[in-house]
């Protein structure tokens, strides 16, 4: 599935304005609900890890596999979403993702065994993978050219808001259960409610998909040109030349080169150099350990002596920092450039991660009975939040901008697929390894993440291209 995010907009062009901008914003926001669920599901498990460990009496390695199980589904969902959307439409694809989210929420809340919980995590992950592909592509295909960049940012904003909301919901449920993740509420344990509440936004996502239009690009591809013209007039303005726009879309689709895996080969080490740079960006984005914060933050803070109820508030506060950082990145990515922003982030992440590693080296006790001295506890909390801030204002947004811009057009789709796959794999590695690393040496785990943050600095300086102000046609 190829979006029209960067196609010229003749027949209306960049000067075209929708008659009802609020309606277009609603359409983009509805599609971005997939991003909200992406963030929500990725982070909601954060509130349940301690209870799951106790409920099923599992060690760190097995627990990590359950938490990371969703990433297996993510990889398959992302890999198949494009073909599914091209065959049955973007809207139907959203509805399938919503159904998978709903089933996963119910199944995860009512597991009878650890493997059963892992299976429902995979199902939810498949929905995440689909939503991560369909949302941005659909928004690009229905957005007026003059507003495309701002509307495209809805997806990333929805992801970080979903993370924040999941933390807030977890905190509220924990309070109802008197601070006990296994406390009973209405016949279910608190952690089960945490996972089950996702059914609400999942159903809302599904319902919203019934009231937004199908993508004009898909409608043209299946010969429904009259409906495509109607949607184009709705989102781009009644004054556009809809016939010309339909011809343009049809001509663009006929002339597109569908890149394949073979097109990526030819470099000294298998892939073309630019493909390796894309893989490097994706891998570094995960190897600095960002998902440790969102998957494990509550249990992390509890492990250093913070009360469970307070740890959830700290996790929510960290999510707010993530939102602030994302907004900063959206403001400056086109002003100061991609490379400078990434370098600022790398330096900031290295310093904050190194500081956190120092603070965690002062922990005392073993198992679940460990704590930090007051000073080091405060330093660890501040350093973790600074790490999230620096990541969000740089690598969290810049990587996706670069991946969308730096590949030559003839390999863009296939190269993006390889880079995204590398990111899911790196995400999986970090997710499954952290509990064991934490049991071994929490400070050592953060030193490893510090090392990768430092290593990303020469990688940016030597290999990453600056794409600010360049046309996509210049990327060769």
Question: If residue 189 lies in a helix (H) or strand (E), which one and from where to where?
Answer: strand 188-189
Count of residues making up the chain: 476
Contacts of residue 433, defined as CB under 8 A and 6 or more positions apart, other chains included, come to: 64
For residue 366, what are the β-bridge partners? 369
Phi and psi of 461, rounded to 5°?
Answer: -60, -40
Q: What is the DSSP string of 422-440?
A: HHHHHHHHHHHHHHHHHHH
CA distance 409 to 475: 8
Alpha-carbon distance of 145 to 163, in angstroms, equals: 29
Tell me the backbone φ, ψ of residue 366, rounded to 5 degrees: -135, 165
The H-assigned helical ranges of 110-186 are 114-142, 148-176
- Determine the pLDDT at residue 203: 95
Alpha carbons 127 and 117: distance in angstroms, whole number: 16
Q: Which of 165, 156, 167, 218 is nearest to 32 (CA)?
A: 156
3-state secondary structure of 138: helix
**Per-residue H/E/C for 363-408:** CEEECCEEECCHHHHHHHHHHHHHHHHHHHCCHHHHHHHHHHHCCC
Strands 270-271 and 184-185: unpaired
Strands (E), 230-388: 265-267, 270-271, 364-366, 369-371
β-strands 270-271, 265-267: how paired?
A: antiparallel
Q: What's the confidence (pLDDT) of residue 13?
A: 45
The CA distances from residue 227 to 1, 44, 217, 311, 346, in Å, are 20, 39, 11, 51, 47
Phi/psi region, residue 146 (left: phi>0; alpha: psi -120 to 50; beta: rest), is: alpha
3-state secondary structure of 337: coil
Tell me 458's DSSP state. H
| Res 281: pLDDT | 93
pLDDT in tens, the chain (476 residues): 444 333 333 344 444 566 677 888 899 889 889 889 888 887 787 778 778 888 888 877 787 788 778 888 887 887 777 778 888 888 999 999 999 999 999 999 999 888 899 999 999 989 988 887 788 778 878 877 767 666 767 777 888 888 888 888 888 898 898 878 888 898 899 999 999 999 999 999 999 999 999 988 889 888 888 898 888 888 887 778 888 888 888 887 776 666 666 777 776 668 888 889 989 998 999 999 988 776 666 656 665 566 656 666 667 778 888 889 988 988 888 788 889 999 999 999 999 999 999 988 887 765 556 677 778 878 888 898 899 999 999 998 888 778 767 777 567 667 777 787 788 788 888 888 887 787 778 788 899 999 999 999 999 999 988 877 664 445 55
Give the up-direction half-sphere exposure of residue 221: CA atoms within 13 A in the CB hemisphere: 19
Residue 424's contacts (CB-CB under 8 Å, 6 or more residues apart) are: 71, 74, 75, 78, 129
In angstroms, what CA-CA distances link 244 with 233, 240, 247, 286? Answer: 12, 9, 5, 43
Cβ burial of 60 (10 Å; 0-12, 13-18, 19+) is middle
Three-state secondary-structure class, residue 7: coil
pTM (2 d.p.): 0.74
Closest by Cα among 308, 8, 46, 330 to 162 = 46
């Amino acid at each position: 599935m190829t979006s029209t995010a960067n196609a010229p907009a003749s027949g209306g062009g960049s000067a075209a304005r929708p008659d009802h901008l609020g309606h277009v914003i609603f359409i983009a926001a509805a599609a971005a609900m997939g991003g909200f669920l992406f963030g929500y599901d990725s982070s909601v498990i954060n509130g349940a890890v301690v209870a799951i460990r106790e409920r099923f009496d599992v060690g760190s390695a097995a627990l990590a596999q359950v938490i990371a199980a969703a990433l297996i589904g993510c990889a398959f969902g992302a890999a198949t979403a494009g073909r599914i959307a091209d065959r049955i439409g973007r809207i139907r694809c959203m509805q399938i993702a919503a159904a998978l989210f709903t089933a996963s929420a119910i199944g995860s809340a009512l597991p009878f065994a650890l493997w059963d919980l892992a299976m429902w995590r995979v199902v939810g992950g498949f929905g995440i993978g689909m939503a991560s592909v369909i949302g941005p592509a659909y928004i690009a295909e229905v957005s007026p050219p003059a507003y495309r960049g701002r509307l495209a940012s809805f997806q990333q904003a929805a992801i970080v808001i979903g993370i924040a909301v999941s933390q807030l919901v977890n905190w509220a449920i924990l309070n109802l259960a008197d601070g006990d993740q296994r406390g009973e509420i209405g016949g279910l344990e608190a952690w089960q409610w945490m996972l089950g509440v996702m059914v609400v936004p999942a159903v809302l996502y599904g319902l919203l998909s019934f009231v937004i239009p199908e993508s004009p690009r898909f409608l043209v591809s299946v010969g429904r040109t009259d409906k495509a013209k109607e949607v184009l007039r709705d989102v781009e303005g009644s004054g556009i030349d809809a016939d010309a726009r339909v011809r343009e879309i049809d001509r663009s689709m006929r002339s597109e080169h569908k890149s394949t895996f073979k097109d990526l080969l030819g470099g000294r080490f298998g892939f073309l150099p630019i493909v390796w740079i894309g893989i490097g960006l994706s891998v570094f984005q995960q190897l600095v350990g960002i998902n440790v914060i969102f998957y494990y933050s509550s249990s992390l803070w509890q492990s250093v002596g913070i009360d469970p109820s307070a740890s959830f508030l700290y996790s929510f506060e960290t999510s707010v920092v993530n939102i602030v950082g994302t907004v900063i990145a959206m403001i400056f990515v086109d002003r100061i450039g991609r490379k400078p922003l990434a370098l600022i982030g790398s330096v900031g992440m290295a310093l904050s991660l190194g500081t956190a590693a120092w603070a965690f080296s002062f922990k005392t006790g073993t198992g679940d009975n460990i704590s930090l001295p007051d000073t080091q506890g405060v330093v660890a909390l501040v350093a973790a939040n600074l790490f999230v801030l620096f990541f969000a204002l740089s690598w969290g947004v810049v990587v996706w901008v670069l991946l969308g811009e730096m590949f030559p057009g003839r390999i863009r789709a296939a190269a993006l697929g390889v880079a995204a796959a590398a990111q899911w794999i790196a995400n999986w590695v970090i997710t499954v390894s952290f509990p064991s690393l934490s049991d071994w040496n929490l400070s050592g785990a953060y030193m490893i993440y510090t090392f990768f943050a430092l290593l990303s600095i020469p990688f940016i300086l030597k290999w990453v291209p600056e794409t600010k102000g360049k046309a996509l046609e210049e990327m060769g």
